[in-house]
Amino acid sequence: MIKVGIVGGTGYTGVELLRLLAMHEQAEVVAITSRAEDGRRVDELFPNLRGHYQLAFSEPRVEELAGCDVVFFATPHNVAMNLVPQLLAAGTRVVDLSADYRLRDAQLWSRWYGEPHASPELLAEAVYGLPEVNRAAIAGARLVACPGCYPTAVQLGLIPLLAADLVDPAHLIASAASGVSGAGRQAKIDNLLSEVADSFKAYGVAGHRHLPEIEQGLGDVAGKPVQLTFVPHLLPMIRGIHATLFARLRGEPGDLQALYERHYADEPFVDVLPAGMLPQTRTVRGANRCQIAIAVPQQRDTVVVMSTIDNLVKGASGQAVQNMNIMLGLPEDSGLGQPGLLP
């Protein structure tokens, strides 16, 4: 049985990890940390987990976490980068759901996150955990940086076009909308029900922290720098991301439907929908799945890709478990077979 530790178990990604790992036949959560909830039973805070866990939260102690085969960091940025070096030195493998190791450039990270990076020497070693691109590298990694939710939806939507060199990499546009759980489990006025209900708004238009992560990943696929105009929006719902992506075609693209179907033919968690069928956030709710559709409206020079994920599953905790499975040589879909929740 794989011994699992979770640092930061009281947020939305933490409880989602607990939900998914409860159904994982080869993994057991043996440690879960929270300074604020130290000593409190997990199922007291999260009654949906009654009967699945007997654990109580504890303060994060490296000596306890080092006894795990893998440790997930479900924390805000700047937590993992201070503890991960000690865990790696102890031989524990790490999947970080925060942004601490997603960018390879320490100065770029500091510019977007407003502080020096505490362990920049690990940035080159950390493997970016998008399995559809880096599966082989993930398998041998000690440290995996789990992608952000927007970056997952946007990259999976645009990668086939850039890999085939069919679009102008300097003129990419992503208009993406997320449910409020993407903002985390915190008390903020902007996230109150009366503030978000019956409304739809853009935010982070001048610059969102996920932008450099997306451009880095897409640039790796394109083999050259890319420029993305990225505008995120807040949806009046709990879960889900819908990304509408626009790219300028270089010429006659051929059969894009066939291109996407070939590109993702062997990917267990990417579903290219039949031509004419459009993705919806509700059909991926609760599932570790990205659904994609492609169109060239009015047969002009712009291709439109629509990509949907559950921001807490394929956009965070589900993808983290997928990475763990690959790292430890387990079946990639272990604990991740849930279909979307309807209605």
Which residues contact residue 175 at a Cβ distance below 8 angstroms, ignoring those fewer than 6 apart?
231, 233, 243, 244, 245, 246
Find the farthest-apart pair of alpha carbons in the chain and give their distance in angstroms, rounded.
62
What is the Cα Rg of the chain in Å? 20
Helix, strand or coil, per DSSP, at residue 11 = coil
Q: How far is 98 from 86, CA to CA, in rounded Å? A: 17
* Dihedral over alpha carbons 155, 156, 160, 161 (to 10 degrees): -50
User: How many C-beta atoms surround the C-beta of residue 248 within 10 A?
Assistant: 16
**Which of 68, 146, 149, 290 is an active site residue?**
149
Q: How would DSSP label each residue in 14-31? A: HHHHHHHHTT-TTEEEEE
Q: How far is 57 from 60, CA to CA, in rounded Å? A: 9
Angle, alpha carbons 321-324-325 (nearest 5°): 90
Place of tokens 């894009």: 256
Distance of CA 71 to the CA centre of its chain: 16
Q: Where are the alpha helices (DSSP H) in the chain?
A: 12-21, 42-45, 62-65, 80-89, 106-113, 131-139, 149-163, 193-196, 210-222, 256-263, 318-327
Q: How far is 293 from 173, CA to CA, in rounded Å? A: 16
- Does residue 290 carry a catalytic annotation? no
List active site positions. 149
